[in-house]
Chain A
Amino acid sequence: EDKVVQSPLSLVVHEGDTVTLNCSYEVTNFRSLLWYKQEKKAPTFLFMLTSSGIEKKSGRLSSILDKKELFSILNITATQTGDSAIYLCAVENNDMRFGAGTRLTVKP
Chain B
Amino acid sequence: GAGVSQSPRYKVAKRGQDVALRCDPISGHVSLFWYQQALGQGPEFLTYFQNEAQLDKSGLPSDRFFAERPEGSVSTLKIQRTQQEDSAVYLCASSPMLGRSGEAFFGQGTRLTVV
- Asked if A and B are interacting partners, one says no
Residues on B lying within 8 angstroms of A by beta carbon are none
Residues on A lying within 8 angstroms of B by beta carbon are none
